[in-house]
């Protein structure tokens, strides 16, 4: 048998390796597993930061969230018995519509309890991401920008093009309204607002305004997000015990 000193040394080495692995996860993907809390819950922290990258790579100088990293990780989270819940941190300008909506659909389909927290902003396709969780929060200074679908590059000015835009926009509006307390008609009104943005259509909602509209559940910060998530996990565990 090893001495107490050797056991402590091994334990310390394991702790260092674990910390190094967590640091690498944060650096490479903006993700980490939090499992050292006093409640003994394993919370997966996932961040949606900068621009959501689609099928084309953005410049190296851009801060991006790559959907090809996020989707497999969400699948792994669903299949991982250690993970009790997911905390989604958002500070995004939006980005690729198809990729952002795919991530939002994946988050919404998780069986684990999920909570989102909007920090800074959750704009454009970031709105469906913010409402995709079981419960959502926004900091007092956080912003949400709702606007019509846009497309860069050459666009053919024909009816099928506009039909495609409308179809894509209907998908986004339908997702948002089905995952929050805002009716589809009101989401469209916010999108097509001409009174707020000087060079564009849309609406900016700050903090409690997003809650008053029914997009977000509550104003709060990181401690509130953990508190809500812990409560959801406890409720789920209690329900499983009663079965």
Active site residue ranges? 124, 147
What are the residues facing 44 on neighbouring strands? 33, 86
CA distance 179 to 227: 21
Length of the chain: 243
Distance set, CA 116 to CA 8, 20, 64, 107, 193 (Å): 38, 26, 18, 10, 26
CA distance 135 to 69: 23
Closest CA to 93 of 149, 146, 152, 51: 51
């Amino acid at each position: 048998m090893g001495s107490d000193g050797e056991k402590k040394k091994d334990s310390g080495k394991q702790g260092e390796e674990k910390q190094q692995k967590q640091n690498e996860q944060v650096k490479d993907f903006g993700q980490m597993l939090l499992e050292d809390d006093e409640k003994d819950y394993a919370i997966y922290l996932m961040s949606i930061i900068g621009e959501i990258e689609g099928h084309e790579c953005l410049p190296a100088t851009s801060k991006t969230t790559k959907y090809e990293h996020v989707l497999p990780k969400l699948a792994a989270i669903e299949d991982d018995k250690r993970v009790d819940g997911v905390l989604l941190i958002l500070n995004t300008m939006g980005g690729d519509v198809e990729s952002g909506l795919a991530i939002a659909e994946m988050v919404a389909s998780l069986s684990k309890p999920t909570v989102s927290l909007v920090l800074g902003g959750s704009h454009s396709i970031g709105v469906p991401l913010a409402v995709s969780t079981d419960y959502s929060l926004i900091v007092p200074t956080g912003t949400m920008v709702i606007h019509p679908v846009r497309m860069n590059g050459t666009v053919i000015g024909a009816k099928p093009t506009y039909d495609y835009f409308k179809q894509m926009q209907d998908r986004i509006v339908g997702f948002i309204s089905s995952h929050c307390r805002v009716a589809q008609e009101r989401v469209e009104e916010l999108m097509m607002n001409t009174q707020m943005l000087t060079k564009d259509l849309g609406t900016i909602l700050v903090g409690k305004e997003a809650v008053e509209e029914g997009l977000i559940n509550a104003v709060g910060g990181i401690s509130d997000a953990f508190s809500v998530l812990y409560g959801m996990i406890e409720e789920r565990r209690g329900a499983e015990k009663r079965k």
